[in-house]
Structure 1
Amino acid sequence: MAGTENLGWKRLVNAFKFSMQGLKATYRGEEAFRQEVAVLLLAVPLALWLGETAVEISLLIGSVLLVLVVELLNSAVEAVVDRFGGEIHELSGRAKDMGSAAVLLISINAAMVWLLILFS
């Protein structure tokens, strides 16, 4: 039993380490991610100040966090596409465009959440 628990904890520690490596790599390599982190750093105190309820604060902060999540996934798609093919290919371009579209849509969602909460 003890070995299984250690394996579980070791897995969690390793997963956390890999996640931090992913965040660091994205922060270093992606200008858009750095800009979105800056927005988050501004949004959190603003949400705490402007949100009137815990739900509003959660929605304001969560909507910006979702932008970061989708940006991470978009960056992962771009890295895989770039890794497996240096040549121009329609499907590679389509995959990158779809990831970019996902970031656009979640950014629109975040803007809508902020506008609806702050102006209603």
Structure 2
Amino acid sequence: MQKDNNLKTPLHNEKKGKKGLNRIFNAFFYSLSGLRAAWNDEEAFRQITIISFILIPLGIYLGDSFANKIILVLPCIIAIIAELINSAIENAIDFTSIEIHPLAKKAKDMGSAIQLIACLFLAFVWICYLFIKFFN
């Protein structure tokens, strides 16, 4: 194992030794585990996922072209990703310490801001599209 002499820490994580198809196979199941954990433990993730499961088929139905369909589906996917990032940040901070610290609050607030922007984007795209489609 190679070490940085100044930091006395390894430069390579030995737990990340899997390569090729084996790595992809394991990563897939780790990802499923993460989705399952988010669904079971995070109310906000369940809410945005349910909203997206309603909006995605609706967007595919309402979209007049492939580009329109993507424009309606993409904000839903971004909102789900943003909630996963937010939940991951919150869990990492809470694992590190449950003490109130300005940097922990800042990190959690930034994670929340990621989700807010994603949800505002979702609402903006859908409202604009529906307005143009039905009232223009």
Q: Same fold (TM over 0.5)?
A: yes
Show the counterpart of 2:10: none
Cα distance between partner residues in 2 of 1:27 and 1:65: 15
Measure how far apart 1:8 and its partner are.
1.1
In the alignment, structure 2 segments of 5+ residues that lack a partner are 1-17
Measure how far apart 1:116 and its partner are.
1.7
Show the counterpart of 1:106: 118
Measure how far apart 1:47 and its partner are.
0.6
In the alignment, structure 1 segments of 5+ residues that lack a partner are 1-5
Cα distance between partner residues in 2 of 1:13 and 1:59: 31
Per-residue CA distance 1:2-60 (angstroms, 9 max, x = gap):
xxxx9411111111011111100001000000011110111122112211111111111
Larger radius of gyration: 2
Per-residue CA distance 1:56-85 (angstroms, 9 max, x = gap):
111111111100001000100001100011
Per-residue CA distance 1:69-116 (angstroms, 9 max, x = gap):
010001000011000112111111111111101100110011111122
Show the counterpart of 1:93: 105
Cα distance between partner residues in 2 of 1:96 and 1:114: 27
Root-mean-square deviation (CA), in Å?
Answer: 1.3
Which consecutive aligned stretches of 4+ in structure 1 deviate over 6 angstroms post-superposition? none
TM-score normalised by length of structure 2: 0.81
Measure how far apart 1:118 and its partner are.
1.9
Aligned residues: 115
Q: Which has the higher contact order (CA 8 A, sep 6+)?
A: 1
Show the counterpart of 1:84: 96
TM-score normalised by length of structure 1: 0.91
Cα distance between partner residues in 1 of 2:26 and 2:40: 21
In the alignment, which of 22, 25, 40 is matched to residue 37 of structure 2?
A: 25
